[in-house]
Amino acid sequence: MNTQAPALVVLAAGMARRYGGVKPLAPIGPNGEAVLDLLVSDAVAAGFGRIVLVLHPETGPSIRYHVEQTWPERIEVVFGTQRLPLGTVHAVLAARDLLEPDASFAVSNADDVYGMGPMRQLADHLVSDRMEHTLIGFHLGSTISTDDPVTRGICRVGPDGLLTGLDERRLVTRHDGGASFRPGDGLEPGELPPDALASVNLWGFRPDIWDVLQAAMDHSGLDEEALLAQVAAGQEIPKSEVLLPEVVATMVQAGDGLPVRVQSTDAVLMGVTHAADLPVVSAELAQMVSQGERPARLWGN
């Protein structure tokens, strides 16, 4: 068994146009802690070591300043840059040189608080000898806090617990207080049960994934240097992204890489997609702290 603490790559380069601000810094904790603070504090407590923050050139400086001013010095954090918005595969590849070349690692969003339980499941898998990637699957009903629409990847899982496919469903809204969930994308099924397993981008990868990600990026034809030259010349670049869930789904369907084990969790996702999510998530976190389900202070203080 590999006992070295795995690294966590946090995708913090999104521009959050629906939210209207820097979502990773949204103050949702009982003491004004940011989403990113809660996320990483949970990850460190669960057994993660190096934290790799992938930032955008525009919003990155404010995130980096916050981290450098408020996080304990003992937290090992490094910063990568995704220079263009070319999708989550491109963002993960921006972290490659900041990780050990032959080490397993995890990937998460920067605007979701997954909880210590799911983070520990992920860390434990990565230090095990199982030659599988993994995905932590949340019950759909535990990932949507308000009536505003979200996008969710609905997992298809075989009897052996391995991922067989991911169906991205858009404009998913809850109905009857969460008794059912209905996508607005016109696809079937038109209604999803609350217990459907959903991906919220909490992955654990073996180093074999690098070849898969790089091949997908090369196949896309998106040349970062050429596109940067277009931007410098005042031209617009195509709105095209290479998305991590889609690439992983293609990999498992083709059988080209390691299998992906889906680990389910009963945890409640605390995510910030819309500004209206803030008071709801803040209230839920405060209640969890008051009931002893979350620590009152970060970083083990």
Give the model confidence (pLDDT) of 177-186 as tens digits: 778 899 999 9
**CA 13, chain centre distance (Å):** 12
Are the C-beta atoms of 115 and 268 separated by less than 8 Å? yes
pLDDT of residue 85: 93
**In the predicted model, is pLDDT for residue 19 greater than 90?**
no
Give the model confidence (pLDDT) of 235-278 as tens digits: 988 888 999 999 999 999 999 899 999 999 999 999 888 788 88
DSSP calls for 1-22: ---SPPEEEEEE----TTTTS-
* Fold classification of 7-290 (topology level): Spore Coat Polysaccharide Biosynthesis Protein SpsA; Chain A (3.90.550)
Contacts of 225 (CB under 8 A, 6+ apart): none
Query: What are the extents of the domains in the chain?
Result: 7-290
For range 206-217, the mean pLDDT: 97
Question: Where do the DSSP E strands lie in 228-279?
Answer: 260-265, 270-271
Structure tokens at 17: 């146009």
One-letter-per-residue 3-state SS of 203-220: EEECCCHHHHHHHHHHHH
**In the predicted model, is pLDDT for residue 53 greater than 90?**
yes
What's the pTM value of the predicted model, to 2 decimals?
A: 0.94
The pLDDT confidence band at residue 146, using thresholds 50, 70 and 90, is: confident
DSSP-derived letter for residue 110 is S
**Mean pLDDT taken over the chain:** 93
